[in-house]
Each structure stands twice: as C-alpha cells, then as structure tokens.
Amino acid sequence: MKIIKRSGNEVVFDLNKIIEAVRKANDSVTDAERMSEEQIKSVAHNVQESCMNLNRCPNVEEIQDWVEMQIMEQRAFKVASNYITYRYKHELVRKSNSTDEQILSLLECNNEEIKQENSNKNPTVNSVQRDYMAGEVSKDITKRFLLPADVVEAHEQGVIHFHDSDYFAQRMHNCCLVNLEDMLQKGTVISETRIDKPKSFSTACNIATQIIAQIASSQYGGQSITLSHLVPFVEISRQKYRKDVRAELMEQGIDVSDEKIDAIAERRVKLEIKQGVQMIQYQVITLMTTNGQAPFVTVFMYLNEVPEGTQKNDLALVIEEMLHQRVQGVKNEKNVFITPAFPKLIYVLEEDNIHEDSKYYYLTKLAAECTAKRMVPDYISEKKMKELKVDKNGEGQCYACMGCRSFLTPYVDSETNIPKYYGRFNQGVVTLNLVDLACSSEKDRNKFWQLLDERLELCYRALMCRHNRLKGTISDVAPILWQNGALARLKKGETIDKLLYNGYSTISLGYAGLNECTKYMMGVSHTDPAGTPFALELMQRLNDACATWKAQENMDFSLYGTPLESTTYKFSKCLQKRFGMIPGVTDKNYITNSYHVHVTEEINAFDKLTFESQFQKLSPGGAISYVEVPNMKDNIEAVLAVMSHIYENIMYAELNTKSDYCQDCGYDGEIMIMTDKDGKLVWECPNCGNQDQDKMNVARRTCGYIGTQYWNQGRTQEIKERVLHL
C-alpha cells in the first residue's frame, strides 16, 4: 500500500511512522494521561485498516485525521490535544515553503498528483513542467492574495471548485469560438507579422493552424473553429487551377473543352483539400503550446452553415476528407495508426444528412464509421438545438460548443440584428459540489434548500472574482485575441470590458454529482420516478439563480454541466473525509459528472439519451451525454441507429468506444484496468502484461473529449466501472 505525501510524492505506507508519531505525543503528557503501548499499536493498526478500506492511496492529511480520531476513541484527550498542536505548528512551517516543495517534487517527476492531473499532459516534458511550475506559483498567489478566505476554504474542502486557479493570477479567460472568418477574410497579425487574406485553400489551412497555436498560448481553455470559414478558399483555389490548367494547355498547343479543363482543375482541388486537411490534423497534433500540450481544438462540421450550391458542396468535400483522415488515424512512434486526442470533431445531424435518401447521407455513414473506429465525431442535433437555443428574435440557432461542452448563450448583435457566435468566449467556471450540499443537509429538505441558497451566494461571489479579474484587462495582453480578430478588433491600450457584458461572453456556474445528491436526499437514483422530480427541481433552482445574477449584473450567467477530469477525485476525497463512506453516495473514488446517469447503472443507450435530454435543456451553459458501447467496427448500422435517435431526441451526444494499442507486443484490442500489488489501479495489456504507461496508447472519452492513460485514480476507477449501454 502506498500513500501520497504533501509534496505529491508517492511512498510506501510505513506503520512504524504512525506508532512513533503517537509515541511522541504520548510522551509529552503526564503518566496518568498516557496511553499504554497496546493502545498506541491499536491506534496505528486501526489507521492502517482505514487506509486499506479506502481503495485508493490516502494522503498524509487523511492519515493524520484518522490518528486524531483513534486517539480520541482511546479517551486519551490530552494526547490528542498535543498531537493536534504539533500538527498545527508544523503546518504553519510548511505553509511558508509548500510551493517550493511542490515545484521541487514536480521537477523530480515524482509528484503523483501532478502526474495524474491532466490526461493529455506528460509531466516529464520540460514545457509541461514549466507550465506546472508557473501554475503552482499562480495558485499560491491566488490563494493568499486574490481570493476571499471563505472562497479558498470552500475550494480546499471540496464544497466548490474554483477552476483553473493556476491561470487566475494572469488575466486569462476560459474558452472561445474563434472568428476565423474575420481573420482570414480581413487579414490578421501573428507575432507582429501581417498576414493578408490567403489566396488558396491550403494557405488558409496553414494560417488557421498558426492562429490556433497563438490562441492556445493566450488562454487556458478550448477553442473551436468551423470548416465553413475555410470553405470559401476552395473556390479561390478552383478558379486558380482553371486558369493555370488553361494556360498550361495553351502553352503546349493543346485545345481542349472547358469541361476537360474543369475536370483536371477539380482533381487538383481535391488533392489540395486532402493536403490542407492533413495540415490541420498533423499540425494540431504535433504543435506544442506553452502549456505543454497540443492545442485543445474542436473542429465544427455543419453543412447548413453555408448557402446551398457550390459552397455547400465544397464544405461536403472538406468534411468528407476530414472524416477519411480521422478514420485512418495518426502514426505513433511504432509506426502504427492510433486514435489522436485532438482535434475533437463535431458533426451536425440535419435533414440533409440524417435520412437514407438525404443528399449528404453518405457523410453520415462515414461519420458512423469514424465513430466506430476513432470515437469521434460527437453529434449535435440541429433539430433539438434549434428548439433549445432561441435568440431574442425568436429564431432557433445551431452553433458549435467550446472545448469539452461549454455553450455560449444565444446572442444577436445589437447593431446588425444578426446572430453572432464566433468571436465570443467564456469568462470562467466555478462548480458547486451537489453531493457535499446534500450530505451537509443531513437529509433535511428545508435545510437543503437553505444551504443551497447560501452556497449559491458563495459561488456568485467566486464568479464575480473571475469577472472582476478580467475587468480592466487591456487588449495588449493578447493581441491575437483582442486586437487581431480572433475575438475582437480593439485598439491598443483599450480594455476588453465591453465584451464582458450584455451577453457577448458567458460566465458559468458548474455543478457535479446530481445522481449522488438525489440518492442521498431521496434514497433512489435520479433515474427513478421517485427521484427525478427532486433532481429537476434542483436544476431549475440553479437556473433561477443564474437568471437572478444575469439581471443584477447584465452578464450572461449560465448553468454548466462540469466535465470534472481530476476534480472528480478531489471531490470524492473531500466527501470521504467530511462524511465518511456512505453507500451509493461517497463510497467511490469519483462522483458523477453533471446530470449523468451513474456509470454503474444498467440502462440501454436509447433510454439513457432520452432520459438525459430533459437535463440538457436545464444545462444551457454546457452539456453532453454519452453512451458506452463495445467494439462497433462491424456494426455500423447500430451506430447509425443511435445517431438517428440523437437527432430526434437530444441536442448533443457521443458514443464511447475503445481504441488502444500496446507498444510492447503490438496488441490493438482493449487495454484493461487492473489492481497492482500496492492496491493501485493500473492499465495493463491483456496480451503481454505490460503496465508501463509510456509504452501504450490508451484512448478513452472522459469528459466530453478524448484523454490518454494519464488519469488519476478516481477517474480510472470510474472508467473501470462503466457498464455498456448497447
């Protein structure tokens, strides 16, 4: 069994250290107040048993809490008092250099908590370490100087989660929809170099990847681009090729028809599309931003974003090539095609592609094949989204989300009266732990709603800290964003303040653990008819709070189904510390993301999506549903059936398949999760027994996007316990 020290180091559990610590406290009191040697050993062994029952690596703080409780149970109150005093004095000393210890353990690559924080970042790489070092300093400054003490305390106790505090000291926002159209059509500036409107599709793709890299280094969240902004350059290339082909043939004295010239030019256009799409895919994957990972990019594929005719047909060509290349995958260091994490793909289901007799149904079949093999694309139903996203003109809108699931609110430009989405962004997120809220209420419904109001007030103040941190930010801090078209065309020295109000940007109230919250309060899952009304009422109250804050501040507060990557583990540890092991509520090393059905609950894919659709409606700031499926490569019809159900019933959903590879033996099936000799969950190749994470490629959907094998123990347990829905 191992434990995690305060520095993040993972070490073997040593019973004798507990015995020695208790002996020291015991020796500090009078003979009459001391425990016997048998009592001391009993304290240590009981603590050891608590550690073993935890089914994860406990940290030092938890062990010391158990020591305190065990001493108290021996009724050695003076010993317990001295032990607590000793802890407190050493805590004061540690606080003066805790950041130093964290950084040093990070540099030595033995900080287990950091290693498991982000499934797409390798903590041994210098650029990742540099980002984490800066993050540790930022978190320390944020905690000591920038946030109110009660917000910090609530964050540390797991009552709320103040997201991305490692970027808070800098005036950075969360995620965005890139206005690629503005930057390509009007030109932009990258690293003080003027970039004019491109004169070909391939050049447009190249510029797009440079824009993506710059943006990824100027914010901490995901960014989305749409292929429709690149499509106009296909026709520019086509006209260029027609002119070139005609000139080439004339030089050779060859007289051919316009039809022949068009055919030759079209072949060159398709080759350029292939090269341009390949450029986007490979550059996004191979680019390393300043935070040490590939840009968190989403590519939106929506046919109805362009007018009928040539542009729509060209968009179909680009989408087809994007899907073909993702089906193929990318090569790893062993020269084997594997599933890349990015760019994430979103494919919009619409009347032109959802039915077998639809004009673009062939694209939908290709998307199904891609999903079966590579887990992407995700699917947005144009039909359902237009029902849920209605702007002030009463018109339903369909548009991309940002990063893993965050959606902007519908917005109409006051000057043009035209809907606007690209060039907008999210200010940040604070998440409310609904499970802690429930457990704190002790099943008293009146107390629950009273506590909800109190904690919502806390979340509101924390969100306003985010907003106020961005206020006054001058455009010079990130010219690519604020001056050169990605989000705005502000002047040098101008602040971004006007973009923070009137619905131009959003700010998100996150929530997590609706399932466990309902289970505690009602005794049943939120899928049970006896639990669903409570869950829906709670969601409505969260939306009502956002509406109140919106009216009060003239800002678009929006309810967001938090993805919880590493936070699911943090919340579970805090819950176990505060409330112990409550069956079905706190007895896992994770809590359920947002409104999702619990991963262990038996439910079929179609019922799950239909049930969760009612919660997507109440989660306008961000939501995604998924179904867990087996290998679907030979069952594309079933994938298409799920896609058809998505179109008719739910706004945004995905299918979770498996896509793994062992570099030691070449096994390309599903790599499994096993328990090693220390009780730790590890990935293991079922063919050769390889457990070296650096010698395998594991791809799993975790939070709406694909991650790799570097998950923490809580998320790993959640993945292990997922049941199939199909």
Q: Is residue 349 part of a domain?
A: yes
Does residue 284 carry a pLDDT above 90?
Answer: no
Residue from 220, 241, 511, 560 carrying the catalytic annotation: 560
Among the options 50, 105, 174, 441, which is catalytic? Answer: 174
Q: Tens digit of pLDDT for each residue in 127-173? A: 666 666 666 777 888 888 899 999 999 999 999 999 988 888 888 99
Hey, what's the torsion of the CAs at 87, 92, 97, 99, to 10 degrees? 80
Residue 650 one-letter amino acid: I
Same domain as 571, residue 456: yes
Indicate whether 564 pLDDT > 70.
yes
* Position 518 in a domain: yes
In the residue annotation, 565 being an active-site residue is answered as yes
Q: How many domains does the chain have?
A: 4
Q: Which residues pair with 153 in a beta bridge?
A: none
CA–CA dist 585, 440 (Å, integer): 13
Which of 592, 615, 631 is the C-terminal boundary of a domain?
592
Cβ pair 223, 178 in contact under 8 A: yes
Q: Which domain holds residue 126?
A: 102-146
Q: Which residue has the tokens 């494919």?
A: 347
Residue 55 shares a structural domain with residue 182 = no
pLDDT grade for 380, boundaries at 50, 70 and 90: very high
Q: 169 and 188: one domain?
A: no
Strand order in the sheet with 659-662: 659-662, 696-701, 706-707
The pair phi, psi for residue 205, each rounded to 5°, is -65, -40
**The one catalytic residue among 172, 205, 402, 439:** 402
Amino acid present at 89: K
Domain boundary among 546, 575, 592: 592
Catalytic residue among 26, 119, 165, 426: 426
459 and 470, same domain (yes or no): yes
Catalytic residue, chosen from 112, 305, 516, 565, is 565
98-107 vs 126-141: helix crossing angle, rounded to 10: 170
* Better-scored residue on pLDDT, 650 or 658: 650
- 519 and 565 co-located in one domain: yes
Query: Which residues fall within 8 angstroms of residue 488, CB to CB, at 6 or more apart?
Result: 423, 475, 481, 482, 496, 499
Q: What is the pLDDT of residues 382-429, one digit of tens each?
A: 999 999 999 999 999 999 998 778 999 999 998 899 999 999 999 999
DSSP codes, 441-470: HTT-HHHHHHHHHHHHHHHHHHHHHHHHHH
For residues 167-180, average pLDDT:
91
Half-sphere exposure of 548 (CA within 13 A, CB side): 11
523 is catalytic: no
pLDDT at 352: 96
Whether 406 sits among the annotated catalytic residues: the reply is yes
Q: Which residues have CB under 8 Å from 482's CB, separation 6+?
A: 475, 476, 488, 490, 494, 496
Same domain, 573 and 543: yes
Nearest Cα to 211, choosing from 172, 236, 182? 182
Q: What is the pLDDT of residue 491?
A: 97
Is there a domain that residue 70 lies in?
yes
Question: Does the model's pTM come out above 0.75?
Answer: yes
**Residue 389: inside a domain:** no
Query: In which band, very low, low, confident or very high, does the pLDDT at 86 lie, cut at 50, 70 and 90?
Result: confident
Residue 398 maps to a domain: no
In a domain, 420, yes or no: no
pLDDT, tens only, 285-295: 877 555 556 67
**Residue 560: pLDDT above 90?**
yes
Same domain, 190 and 296: yes
Is residue 426 flagged as an active site residue? yes
What is the average pLDDT score of the chain? 90
What mean pLDDT is predicted for residues 210-221? 89
pLDDT above 90: percentage of residues in the chain: 66
Q: How confident is the model at residue 123 (pLDDT cuts 50, 70, 90)?
A: low
Say yes or no: 88 and 112 in one domain.
no
Note whether 21 and 109 are same-domain residues: no
Is 199 found in the same domain as 135?
A: no
pLDDT at 428: 95
Going by C-alpha positions, the residue among 340, 341, 348 that lies closest to residue 300 is 348
Residues 371 and 319 in one domain: yes
Domain check: are 203 and 170 in the same one? Answer: no
Give the range among 68-82, 288-302, 389-403, 479-493 with minimum mean pLDDT: 288-302
